[in-house]
Chain A
Amino acid sequence: MARLGQASRVLVPVTPKPAGQPELEAALIREVVRGLQSAPFIVESESTSDYNCIAWAMGDCTRPWSPSISGGYYWPSDLPIGIPAVEVVEELFRRAGYSAAESPQLLPGIEKVAIYADEWREVRHAARQLDDGSWVSKMGDLADIRHDELEPVEGPIFGKVVMIMQRPRRT
């Protein structure tokens, strides 16, 4: 039951602070994510370490979700801590109502998440699909962004998309 109590917290609608200098935020992101140097994206928040990509994929911008050994991060107590393996993060999203999806294609009434991992199946990033088909990504401690395609975010930092999951879209 404690798990249900914790999960209910993410349903509280909280909006990230908008970027004060979106051009500067965009430049910082382009500097490290090469795929975004040519692909369009929109900066939607300021840089912050208050939440991370997994949190934002879950719709939570109040705390970072991470299997950390130290306090300051949220992670279900019965999931392994340390390195976030794909299978562990998959279980995390399953508990939030997601199941495996075949493709990232937009479907009406369906919310999808994309999980990025490296070649050792360590999760490096996650993105969530909006109802217009675009994706939102929190870029580490930098801003969160909206992008049209999943591929430009792929690369040496975030790895490749290894899994798409879906659940009925919640209003």
Chain B
Amino acid sequence: MPPLTDRPTRDVPEEIGRAPTCLVGRKHRLEWARYRRQLSRSSDYPEAARGKWRREYRRVDRGPARQGIEREFEELAEVWERETAIESFPHRKAMHPAYQQIIAIGPPVLPLVLRRLERRPGHWFWALRVLARYDAAAGVDNMVDARAAWLDWGRRHGYLSR
């Protein structure tokens, strides 16, 4: 298999979308596209996704790119919380550009969202559901129990320390 850097750009389908801004450089973008493509073809998506996301997170966690993600996430989260605090419904909060940008960062932001939710309550369930492609709070009708369900999920899957 040729190294990733030698693969032509046309291998990346348009529908995959842009890589997070923290993943700079052609190599990172191609890696990002490749693993998302593999995930989308997997017959056992949730399990494959969890393993792959964790590996991706650890890889990014080691370098300066990780600090870029954290900084970007915290800035976006502050803007989002401040500007949507008055909104009464979660779909309006989720449509805020900062929230959409957080989701667009992709799987590496998942542990950061969980850590923020661990620090204080918030309407992160929509983003978590999209990022994890799973709803740990399905059927839960209140914020306290939904938060507990997601934090428990995060600990069980290695995104949060126990």
B86–A71 contact, CB under 8 A?
Answer: no
Instruction: Let me know if A86 is at the binding interface, CB within 8 A.
Output: no
Size of interface on A: residues with Cβ below 8 Å to B: 34
Partner of A33, one of B86, B138, B141, B143: B86
Interface string of B9-27 (1 = CB under 8 A from A): 0000000000000000000
Chain A positions 63-118 with a Cβ under 8 Å from a chain B Cβ: 63-64, 66-75, 82-84
A50 touching B88 by the CB < 8 A rule?
A: no
Count, chain B residues at interface, CB 8 A: 29
- Say whether, besides A49-B143, A50-B143, A73-B141, A68 and B91 are in contact (CB < 8 Å): yes
Bound CA span A125–B87, Å: 9
Q: Are B86 and A157 in contact (CB under 8 A)?
A: yes
What A residues does B145 contact at CB under 8 A? 72
Main secondary structure of the interface of B (DSSP, over half): loop
CB distance from B52 to the nearest CB of A (A): 23
Q: Which of A49, A71, A75, A84 contacts B138 (CB 8 A)?
A: A71
Tell me the complex Cα distance, A74–B145, Å: 12
Whether the Cβ atoms of A71 and B89 lie closer than 8 Å is no
Give every chain B residue within 8 A of A142 (Cβ-Cβ): 85-86
Q: 1/0 per position for A38-61, CB-CB distance to B under 8 A? A: 000000000101101110000000
Give the A-B contact count at a CB cut-off of 8 A: 96
B139 touches A71 (CB 8 A): yes
Complex contact A49–B123 (CB within 8 A): yes
Complex contacts, B90 vs chain A, CB 8 Å = 64, 66, 68, 70, 72-73
Residues from chain B with a CB closer than 8 A to the CB of A151 are none
> Which B residues are in CB contact (< 8 Å) with A54?
88
Interface pair A62/B142, CB less than 8 Å apart: yes
Q: A27 near B: Cβ within 8 Å? A: no
* Interchain CA distance A54-B89 in the complex, whole Å: 9
Asked if A141 is at the interface of the complex by the 8 Å CB criterion, the answer is yes
- The CA of A55 and the CA of B103, in the complex, are separated in Å by 28
* Residue interface bits A129-143, CB-to-B below 8 A is 1, else 0: 000000000111110
Residues in A neighbouring B85, C-beta threshold 8 A: 28, 32, 47, 140-142
Cβ of B8 to closest chain A Cβ, rounded Å: 38
A157 to B89, CA, bound (A): 12
Please give, as numbers and ranges, the residues of chain A lying within 8 Å of B84 by CB-CB distance. 140-141
* Known contacts A63-B143, A68-B91; 10 further A-B pairs (Cβ under 8 A): A32-B85, A62-B142, A68-B125, A69-B126, A71-B139, A71-B141, A72-B143, A74-B142, A82-B91, A157-B87
